[in-house]
């Protein structure tokens, strides 16, 4: 199986959340879909939020999300863990709890089915760790291997956390380090060292469940998970039309080797798409090149970006670090709206 497993990356043009269609392209596509009105649909596709939310009754709502992508690593079980962790994350970003998951599988007919079995086993591990139940799924043959989940979660309706409702003056916390996409780009050309890859994999496999459970005791005004659009574009979505985000570049948690790889131009096409999307809303020219690229780097199974009152920020960071996300840091704050949506301190 090991020889065939090495074919995971060679069978894919791109991998992980770097395979996402750019946000502007998605927005144009969605304009052609007729608006669907239902008073129970609290969050729909028109909101650019992390998942859909549908009110069940006076107390609870369901969270629905789906995510799948090609592999970014050759180890099948590792790929399964990462893809599942990534798909489950949207539920936690909205303050919910995953309950049911379904496998989504695309797999080349020519590859050893034992590879697929290992992918599914890795995914099942993370579903179990999340406290959810695997209920089945759907599979098809395809030219590229792809895997992910459709996930249903539950949340108290009054406690749904949106991605675009940050309060003025709130601090921003990022729970995982940046640089995963850059490290994976280095891996594809056999230029990533083992320690960097291990750090990236550990981050991608890490569930956002624990950070979500920590923030439940705090007054969070907005939250999103950082995935394929990178920190910059997800920050734009959080600011919406109501605020400017002031980032602290020196405070950004990063995978150290990603800085070196960025300076060697081991970058991704998705990172360039994110730069193109964000450049009219921010001016990064004064920042070191590597920091610029880390802002735009597509993150697979990235951390949560949490807006919380300034008097609670240090306590929440401490709680999150104690829970195991040791890179968690305060990386910025919400400021009054200005000409640029993202500025730097």
Q: What is residue 9's predicted lDDT score, i.e. its pLDDT?
A: 67
pLDDT digits (tens, 9 = 90+) for 67-92: 999 999 999 999 999 999 999 999 99
DSSP code at position 150? E
Residues 297-339: tens digit of each pLDDT: 999 999 999 999 999 999 999 999 999 999 999 999 999 999 9
Selection from 263, 100, 300 nearest residue 181 by Cα? 300
| Location of each CATH 3.30.1330.10 domain in the chain | 2-159
CB of 123 within 8 A of CB of 77? no
CATH fold group of domain 2-159? 60s Ribosomal Protein L30; Chain: A; (3.30.1330)
Q: Which two tokens stand for residue 261?
A: 């790889």
Question: Six-digit token pair at 121?
Answer: 């086993």
Rounded Cα distance between 291 and 192, Å, is 18
Chain centroid to CA 257: how far? Answer: 20
Q: What is the pLDDT of residue 49?
A: 75
Query: What local confidence, expressed as pLDDT, does residue 33 receive?
Result: 72
Place of tokens 């239902």: 38
Q: Say which CATH class 171-344 falls into.
A: alpha beta
Active site residues: 17
| Per-residue confidence band for 13, with pLDDT thresholds at 50, 70 and 90 | low
The tens digit of pLDDT for each residue in 85-130 reads 999 999 999 999 999 999 999 999 999 999 999 999 999 999 999 9
Question: What is the per-residue pLDDT for 27?
Answer: 63
The model's pLDDT over 166-178, given as tens digits with 9 standing for 90+, comes to 999 999 999 999 9
Under DSSP, the state recorded for 316 is: H
CATH 3.90.650.10 residue ranges of the chain are 171-344
Q: Would you place residue 242 in the very low, low, confident or very high pLDDT band (cuts 50, 70, 90)?
A: confident
Per-residue model confidence (pLDDT) at position 1: 43
Sequential DSSP letters for 234-283: HHHHHHTTT-EEEE-GGG--B-HHHHHHHHTT---HHHHHHHHHHTTTB-
pLDDT bracket for residue 2 (50, 70, 90): very low
| 27 vs 289 pLDDT, higher one | 289
Q: Residue 203: name the closest of 331, 16, 21 by CA.
A: 16
Give residue-wise pLDDT tens across range 136-183.
Answer: 999 999 999 999 999 999 999 999 999 999 999 999 999 999 999 999
What pLDDT is recorded for position 127? 98
Alpha carbon distance 163, 123 (integer Å): 26
pLDDT at 3: 40
Residue with the larger pLDDT of the pair 257 and 20: 257
Kindly state the tokens that stand for 127: 């579903």
Taking the C-alpha atoms of residue 105 and residue 134, their distance in angstroms, rounded to an integer, is 14
Instruction: Tell me if residue 41 falls in helix, strand or coil.
Output: strand
Q: Specify the pLDDT at position 48.
A: 73
Q: Across the strands, what pairs with 152?
A: 64, 100
CA dihedral over 76, 78, 82, 88, signed as positive or negative: positive
The predicted pLDDT at position 5 comes to: 42
Token output for 80: 């399964």
Q: What's the pLDDT tens digit per position in 206-237?
A: 999 999 999 999 999 999 999 999 999 999 99
Residue 241 — pLDDT band, cuts 50, 70, 90? confident
């Amino acid at each position: 199986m090991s020889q065939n497993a090495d074919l995971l990356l060679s069978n894919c043009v791109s991998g992980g959340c770097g395979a996402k269609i750019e946000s502007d392209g998605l927005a144009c596509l969605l304009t052609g879909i007729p608006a669907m009105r239902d008073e129970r649909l609290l969050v729909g596709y028109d909101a650019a939020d992390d998942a859909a939310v549908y009110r069940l009754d006076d107390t609870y709502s369901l969270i629905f999300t789906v995510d799948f992508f090609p592999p970014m690593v050759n180890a099948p079980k590792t790929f399964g863990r990462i893809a599942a962790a990534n798909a489950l994350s949207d539920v936690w970003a909205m303050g919910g709890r995953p309950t049911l998951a379904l496998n989504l599988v695309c797999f080349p007919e020519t590859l050893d089915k034992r590879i697929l079995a290992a992918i599914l086993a890795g995914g099942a591990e993370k579903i179990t760790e999340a406290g959810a139940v695997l209920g089945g799924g759907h599979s098809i043959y395809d030219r590229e291997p792809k895997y992910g989940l459709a996930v249903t979660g539950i949340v108290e309706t009054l406690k749904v956390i949106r991605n675009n409702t940050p309060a003025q003056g709130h601090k921003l916390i990022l729970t995982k380090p940046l640089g995963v996409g850059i490290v994976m780009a280095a891996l594809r050309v056999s230029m990533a060292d083992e320690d960097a890859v291990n750090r990236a994999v550990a981050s991608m496999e890490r569930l956002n469940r624990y950070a979500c459970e920590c923030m439940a005791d705090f007054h969070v005004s907005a939250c999103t998970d950082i995935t394929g659009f990178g920190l910059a574009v997800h920050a734009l979505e959080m600011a919406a039309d109501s605020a400017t985000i002031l980032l602290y570049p020196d405070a950004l948690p990063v995978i150290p080797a990603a800085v070196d790889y960025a300076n060697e131009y081991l970058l991704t096409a998705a990172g360039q798409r994110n730069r193109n999307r964000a450049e009219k809303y921010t001016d990064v020219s004064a920042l070191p090149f590597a920091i610029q690229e880390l802002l735009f780097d597509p993150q697979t199974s990235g951390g949560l970006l949490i807006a919380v009152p300034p008097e609670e920020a240090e306590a929440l960071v401490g709680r999150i670090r104690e829970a195991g996300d040791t890179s968690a840091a305060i990386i910025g704050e919400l400021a009054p709206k200005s000409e640029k949506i993202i500025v730097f301190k």
